[in-house]
Structure 1
Amino acid sequence: MIALPSIRKKLVAVVMATTLAAVLVSVGLIIVYDLRSYQRSLVTDLSTQAELVGHMTSAALAFDDARLAGENLALLRTRPMVRSAAIFDENGRLFASYVASGAPTTLPSRPGGSEARIEGDHLVLFRPIVENGDTIGTVWLRAENRLLARTLDYLGIALGVTLLALAVAWLLMHRIGRVITTPIVAVTGIAREVVATRDYSRRAPRIGNDEAAELADSFNAMLVEIEQRTRELEGSNAEIAREANERARAQQEIMRLNEQLEERVDERTLQLALANAELANAIDEARNANQAKSAFLSSMSHELRTPLNAILGFAQILTSESLPTTEAQKKEFASHILKSGRHLLTLINEILDLAKVESGTISLSMEPVELGEILRECRTMVEPLAAARGVRVLFPEFAEQASAMLLADRTRLKQVLLNLLSNAIKYNRDAGAVVLDCTQVNPGRLRIAVQDTGMGLRPDQVDSLFQPFNRLGQEAGAQEGTGIGLVVTRRLVELMGGTIEVTSSPGVGSVFAIELASTAPLAGTIDPAAQPVPAPARRAAGEPHLLLYVEDNPANLKLVEEIVRFRPDLRLLAAGDGPLGLSLARTHRPEIILMDLNLPGMSGLEVLKELRRDPRTGAIPVIALTASAMASDVERGIEAGFFRYLTKPIDIDRFNEAIDSTLAHLRSALRTGPGAAGGMAS
């Protein structure tokens, strides 16, 4: 137990503190008052002495008698408190001085102000010497300032008085405190015994007739009341304990039932959470499938409309009586129709292949296939395509592949290799190279790699490569392609138990490699080298009414060129991709821009945004000419800011009407001043 201070000690502490405070305040006030009086007395005495010295030396100053002034100052020897003095003439020069024995010889060089000031342990005073109202000099006195010594003396006296007062107060309280604290100590002792023994029959004695005696009576009355209440409580405790035991048993039963209920609720909650999670996953899968379906249908619609645009467009020219054509033109247009029709057939076949692969209805005949024979057939089929581009195709020696046998479907393996080789040629540089390499990964796996020297792919293009209608992510849109072949190729390789991977470096080329199970290893490996060559640049130009057409499909570009050729008031400038279109628009400032939306690398919407940001091209009306014909595509195009929105296949009459109405709008804008062009759909 922590020992608490007694009442007697508290009383002694209070009296001692009060006495100390009273003594300190009283002595402090006396000391401060005396020191202030001493300071005033010292300043007054020094001022009187300065005036007396000035009066005595006024005659010496008047007659320029420095000796007499020095003798007058020497009289200050009778004032030991004055340690040094000096007389200055009216010009402030030192006239006479006095320094007491043992005092510092430092004297001021010039007289200062007339106020007294303290310098260290000395008091310094300047007083002017006035004669007949004129100041003829200055007296300077420096006297000892014994304020600090006097203060220390007073502090010693104050300390002695304080100690004496505290001693007297302590002796008085030591005697008187017993009378005050004895009744309280008696009550405290009884209270401590009651707490320790729980014996409420004890009573405190009554001492005296003061408040302490009344406290003892009240304490005894409280003990009587507590004793009665204790008996009553002890009588009821047994009943309370019995009821508490019964309640405890009931509470335990309730807790057991609650635990069982909580277990059941947790089980049902977990089942509900699992069901909700499964439902959410199913909803997400359905939503993703619906979005993928919409995106696929939109892309497929665009790809189907692209060749149809050329077919129907050139067919309209051939059948139109208002557009006469020569025999050479008819033959050329028929060639374009035939080429686009074949492309459309290829597209339909690849879509059917993709549908079979995705639905799982395609059937494979897995058997040992001789690799050398497959490579010879593929080489025969791709060499004409490569020769037309000036691309070298390097195959390994067939003799070394004769023993290699792959476990695959022969037809589908040939389809995979032809797709990879044709892509490598199609998207290669002119006069580039394609290298086919075969490597035995391990005794049971064979790797076939197709390397090209094309423009290569960026990492983001590689990530989206195996998506329908992607076209290898190439930015050079001069080559036709469905973009479905790689999707089908990957699924066929996977169905044959293999894998496909792509590595690419922008500006260097790409490598497409497949791995399949082999039943017989290679006799050796080949490591041929290819030397890429740079691709040539393309340029096109035209004049007023100047139209710029940004289109990556050669057949569609040719169709628009032929339509414009029948209009002598129009000149066409063509660009094969978005960046070139931006450059030509900024350089030639065409009156109208025709824009395809599905451009490689940079879409038509992105090109439109760049045109609007540039003050040089911001006011040029842009007409969308695209195969993206769904209602959502048209709405998005108009919101993006296209002046008109034309869909493929091209309706020549509507095309001419759109050009004429845009030119009329431009002429009207020139007459009425510049203004914002409103968007219209067609």
Structure 2
Amino acid sequence: MSRRRSLPQKLLGVVMLVTLAALLVSLGTILAYDLRAYHQSLTADMTTQAELLGHMSAPALTFDDQRLAKENLALLRLRPKVNAGAIYSARGQLFATYVAPGLDVQVPQAPRADGVAFVNGKMLLFRRIRDNGEVLGTVYLQADYEILSRFSDYAMIAIIATLLALGIAYLLMRPLNKVVTQPVLAIADVAREVVETGDYSRRAPGTSNDEVAELAASFNKMLSVIESRTRELENSNSEIAREAEQRSKAQQEVMRLNEELELRVHERTLQLEQANSELALAMEEAKSANQAKSAFLSSMSHELRTPLNAILGFAQILTSEKLPSTLAQKREFASHILKSGRHLLTLINEILDLAKIESGAVALSLEPVALQEILQECEGMVAPLADQRGIRLLFPDACTANVTADRTRLKQILLNLLSNAIKYNREAGSVVVDCSPGGPGLMRVSVQDTGMGLRPEQVKQLFQPFNRLGQESGTEEGTGIGLVVTKRLVELMGGTIGVTSSQGAGSMFWIELASTEPTPSRIDPDAESVPPLPRHAQGEPATILYVEDNPANLKLVEEIISFRPDLKLLSAPDGHLGIELARAHQPDMILMDINLPGLSGLDAVKLLHTDPRTAHIPVIALTANAMPRDVEKGLAAGFFRYLIKPINIDEFTDAINSTMSFLARREEEGSTSK
């Protein structure tokens, strides 16, 4: 027969078991979290170190500079946990090594695939070195992986903490146990004596002021009642029955209250679980937002530095007296600078477009747009890019439909889809553009390529920022936000965009916009004619006044104009002087910056148009204010054309020539009217 345990022993055992369970769960959770955090932190730290080392060593691999590579590896001595490191060339040959002082570590003679491995308490990491999409080599790092020692230390700490906590709980519960159980035991002793002796005059002592005291009082009262009932048993049967009924009702009420209490506890538990779930979801969203921010900064740093590297590098060569170059080389270097500058401008425009769309700052001018004209313009712009790769372009012969759209943004959307179809196509492939009715009242334009296609999981992530059409290799340049901008522009115009893709066969992107009828142009026959200019003498150059406060920008335009013997340039550093020169010299046209000291370009052009002496002179804006609202504001102020810096020489020349043609037609019309 097992030994019966007393109430104090049971209470002490329950407290000890609860304490032990809580300690085991808490310490186990902390141990697992710390080991996981250590693993992730070490992996992320070594990966970052490898990427940084690869970035620093890219020039060394490019120029075969082993000394620079070894100096870069020598910086690992500042990382005591790193045992060894190495850099391999693109052919897999060992280029440079590093071994921590005092260690005997064997460095692999050949690189492995990108990744992390853990062998004998060591972390082995291989990372490819890439520059402009080209693999230059591989970085290898070996570091201490102390997870087992950390586990042993934490296990020992957990055991000591558990024993110490149990000991403290035991010491605290011994005196507290008596405080809690002593009144109950006193009642039990009195009850036992009453049962054994039948003496109902005994009373339980009231040693506290709580529920136990109430129990003792009730017990004493019960003894008094029993004593009284024993003396008056014959005359109190009905009274006993009544008290029994009251006691039954009291028990039922207690049961009802217990059920209500259990229900409230259950509801509160559900509320706490829901709150914990919402908190976990919020933490996960915050983590995802932080990762997206890190990915954005990393992507932008790489994409912006890549063209800047070429611009600054070739510019240093051109300006260096220690690095003489031939005329052919100078032209090649200048071509690289121009190409990289245009690429950098494209990246900045894409980022600004996405920022404007996200902030709701994009203002669209929706109007009927002829698809055939837009497609012809896009074909002319992407044809050179397609010819470079031997891509065949197939556009519809006749697309007479009109859609409701912003003309400029629609061209941007189609150019993005076409450039992607060419960029991610296979060599000597083809791009097919089609125009067909979509749903009711909709017109669909599709762009189909013959590239490698996309997997279903890539299609799901296609319109996320920085995705680059799912190209994990990262060989194509760009921010990866072009499709995001395209999707949101289509949605702002009330349309939809979609994609279908077959891996290995190609992809087809399509947009659907509301079809509409073209609006006829309206020309006011009674509009006041512009006063004609006097005809120039034979061979006399046309005069251009450039109002610009930046000497470098003025010098650039002077150099461009110097190649045109038919043009003569005047300049003014501010708006007030520009207006005076325009009144005095009567130039044929004016180039005007907007952000001028004292008097802005917008105010200056208004003053020129209100003055009869200068109202006939066309004014072209040449400014860095590139936001759509800036362009609209400038054209509304009276600018004849609006050019955006940095200057595109072809666009600049086209603006000058078109303005000269306009002046010539106006002069001929004035002569005819006379």
Instruction: Give the TM-score normalised by the residue count of structure 1.
Output: 0.38
Q: Give the structure, 1 or 2, with the largest relative contact order (CA under 8 Å, sep 6 or more).
A: 1
Instruction: Give the TM-score normalised by the residue count of structure 2.
Output: 0.39
